[in-house]
Chain A
Amino acid sequence: MKHLRQLFGSRGGNPGQYGMIIALILIIAIFEGLTHGLTLNPTNVINVFQQYCYILILALGMVMVIIAGHIDLSVGSVAAFVGIIVAQAMSEWHWDWWQAVLLGLVIGALVGAWQGFWVAFVRVPAFIVTLAGQLIFRGANQLIGNSTSVAVPDDYQQIGGGFIPDFGPNTGFSNGTLILGLVTIAALIWVEARGRARRRKMRAELPPLWVSVVRTGILVLVTLIGTYLFAAGSAGTSFPIVAIITGILTILYGFITRNTVFGRQVYAVGGNANAAALSGVNIRKVNFFVMANMSLLAAVAGMVYVGYAGASGPADGTGWELDAIAAVFVGGAAVSGGIGTVAGSIVGALVMALLANGLQLINVESNLQQIIRGLVLLLAVAFDVYSKTQGRPSLIGNMFNQFRRREGEPAEAVQPQSIDDQTKVSLP
Chain B
Amino acid sequence: MTTPTILEMRSITKEFPGVKALSDVSISVAEGEIHAICGENGAGKSTLMKVLSGVYPYGTYSGDIVYQGEIMRFNGVKQSEEAGIVIIHQELALIPELSITENLFLGSEIGRRGVIDWTEAQLRARELLQRVGLDDDPDTQIKNIGVGKQQLVEIAKALHKNVKLLILDEPTAALNETDSQHLLNLIVDLKTKGVTSIIISHKLNEIEQVADNITILRDGRTIETLDVHTGVDEDRIIRGMVGRSLESRFPDRTPHIGEVFFEVRNWTVQHPLDPSRLVCKNESFTVRRGEIVGFAGLMGAGRTELAMSIFGRSYGTYLSGQIFKDGREIKVNSVRQAIENGIGYVSEDRKSLGLNLLDTVKRSTVSADLKRISRGGVVDALKEYDVAEEFRKRLRTKVPTVEEGVSKLSGGNQQKVVLSKWMFTDPDLLILDEPTRGIDVGAKFEIYRIIQQLADQGKGVILISSELPELLGLSDRIYTIFEGAITNELPAAEADPETLMRSMTSVKKDALI
Chain A residues 1-56 with CB under 8 Å of chain B are 10
- B356 near A276 (CB under 8 angstroms)? yes
Query: Cβ of B401: which chain A residues have Cβ within 8 Å of it?
Result: 204-205
Per CB-CB distance, the 9 closest pairs between chain A and chain B, nearest first, are A418-B46, A411-B17, A412-B411, A410-B410, A271-B356, A411-B18, A415-B438, A271-B358, A272-B356
The answer, among B299, B348, B378, B438, for a CB contact under 8 Å with A412, is B438
Q: Does B300 contact A (CB under 8 A)?
A: yes
How far is it, in angstroms, between the C-alpha of A419 and the C-alpha of B299 when the chains are bound?
Answer: 10
- Tell me whether A278 and B335 are in contact in the complex, defined as CB-CB below 8 angstroms, given that A418-B46, A421-B41 are known contacts: yes
How far is it, in angstroms, between the C-alpha of A11 and the C-alpha of B45 when the chains are bound?
Answer: 44
CB distance from A274 to the nearest CB of B (A): 5
- B359 near A260 (CB under 8 angstroms)? no
- A420 near B359 (CB under 8 angstroms)? no
Query: Cβ of B200: which chain A residues have Cβ within 8 Å of it?
Result: 420
18 A-B contact pairs sorted by A residue (CB < 8 Å): A202-B382, A202-B389, A205-B403, A261-B378, A267-B363, A272-B352, A275-B353, A275-B354, A276-B367, A279-B335, A279-B367, A279-B421, A411-B19, A412-B412, A415-B16, A421-B41, A423-B300, A426-B273
Q: Does B385 contact A (CB under 8 A)?
A: yes
How far is it, in angstroms, between the C-alpha of A410 and the C-alpha of B19 when the chains are bound?
Answer: 11
Chain A residues 278-311 with CB under 8 Å of chain B are 278-280, 282
- A423 near B370 (CB under 8 angstroms)? no
- A423 near B304 (CB under 8 angstroms)? yes
Total count of chain B residues near the partner, CB < 8 A: 75
The answer, among A267, A282, A421, for a CB contact under 8 Å with B358, is A267
By beta carbon, the residue of chain B nearest A273 is: B356
- A423 near B299 (CB under 8 angstroms)? yes
CB distance from A201 to the nearest CB of B (A): 7
The answer, among A267, A278, A421, for a CB contact under 8 Å with B345, is A278
- B355 near A275 (CB under 8 angstroms)? yes
**Taking each of A261, A267, A276, which has the highest tally of chain B beta carbons within 10 Å of its own beta carbon?**
A261
Q: Does B452 contact A (CB under 8 A)?
A: no
By beta carbon, the residue of chain B nearest A205 is: B401
The answer, among B21, B89, B386, for a CB contact under 8 Å with A416, is B21
How far is it, in angstroms, between the C-alpha of A201 and the C-alpha of B42 when the chains are bound?
Answer: 48
Q: Does A277 contact B (CB under 8 A)?
A: yes
- A259 near B90 (CB under 8 angstroms)? no
The answer, among B46, B345, B382, for a CB contact under 8 Å with A201, is B382
CB distance from B489 to the nearest CB of A (A): 23
By beta carbon, the residue of chain A nearest B380 is: A259
Query: Cβ of B466: which chain A residues have Cβ within 8 Å of it?
Result: 421
The answer, among A204, A338, A421, A425, for a CB contact under 8 Å with B353, is A425
- A259 near B378 (CB under 8 angstroms)? yes
Chain B residues 364-406 with CB under 8 Å of chain A are 367-371, 374, 377-379, 381-382, 385-386, 389, 401, 403
CB distance from A194 to the nearest CB of B (A): 11
How far is it, in angstroms, between the C-alpha of A259 and the C-alpha of B19 when the chains are bound?
Answer: 42
Chain A residues 327-350 with CB under 8 Å of chain B are 338-339
- Tell me whether A425 and B315 are in contact in the complex, defined as CB-CB below 8 angstroms, given that A198-B381, A410-B411 are known contacts: yes
Query: Cβ of A425: which chain B residues have Cβ within 8 Å of it?
Result: 304-305, 308, 315, 349, 353
- A262 near B91 (CB under 8 angstroms)? no
- Using a CB–CB distance below 8 Å, which chain B residues touch chain A? 16-19, 21, 41-42, 44-47, 89-91, 169-170, 173, 200, 202, 272-273, 299-300, 304-305, 308, 311-315, 334-336, 338-339, 345, 347-349, 352-359, 363, 367-371, 374, 377-379, 381-382, 385-386, 389, 401, 403, 410-412, 414, 421, 437-440, 466
Query: Cβ of A265: which chain B residues have Cβ within 8 Å of it?
Result: 370
Chain A residues 400-428 with CB under 8 Å of chain B are 409-412, 414-428
Q: Does A268 contact B (CB under 8 A)?
A: yes
Query: Cβ of A261: which chain B residues have Cβ within 8 Å of it?
Result: 370-371, 374, 377-379
CB distance from A313 to the nearest CB of B (A): 39
- B45 near A418 (CB under 8 angstroms)? yes
Query: Cβ of B353: which chain A residues have Cβ within 8 Å of it?
Result: 274-275, 278, 425
How far is it, in angstroms, between the C-alpha of A420 and the C-alpha of B37 when the chains are bound?
Answer: 13
- A421 near B377 (CB under 8 angstroms)? no
Q: Does A123 contact B (CB under 8 A)?
A: no
- Tell me whether A411 and B46 are in contact in the complex, defined as CB-CB below 8 angstroms, given that A261-B377, A277-B335 are known contacts: no
CB distance from A412 to the nearest CB of B (A): 3
- A414 near B42 (CB under 8 angstroms)? no
The answer, among A259, A268, A274, A414, for a CB contact under 8 Å with B352, is A274
CB distance from B270 to the nearest CB of A (A): 13
How far is it, in angstroms, between the C-alpha of A265 and the C-alpha of B377 when the chains are bound?
Answer: 11
By beta carbon, the residue of chain A nearest B311 is: A278
Chain A residues 105-148 with CB under 8 Å of chain B are none
Q: Does A94 contact B (CB under 8 A)?
A: no
- A272 near B272 (CB under 8 angstroms)? no
How far is it, in angstroms, between the C-alpha of A414 and the C-alpha of B15 when the chains are bound?
Answer: 11
Chain A residues 161-188 with CB under 8 Å of chain B are none
- A427 near B315 (CB under 8 angstroms)? yes
The answer, among A275, A410, A416, A427, for a CB contact under 8 Å with B16, is A416
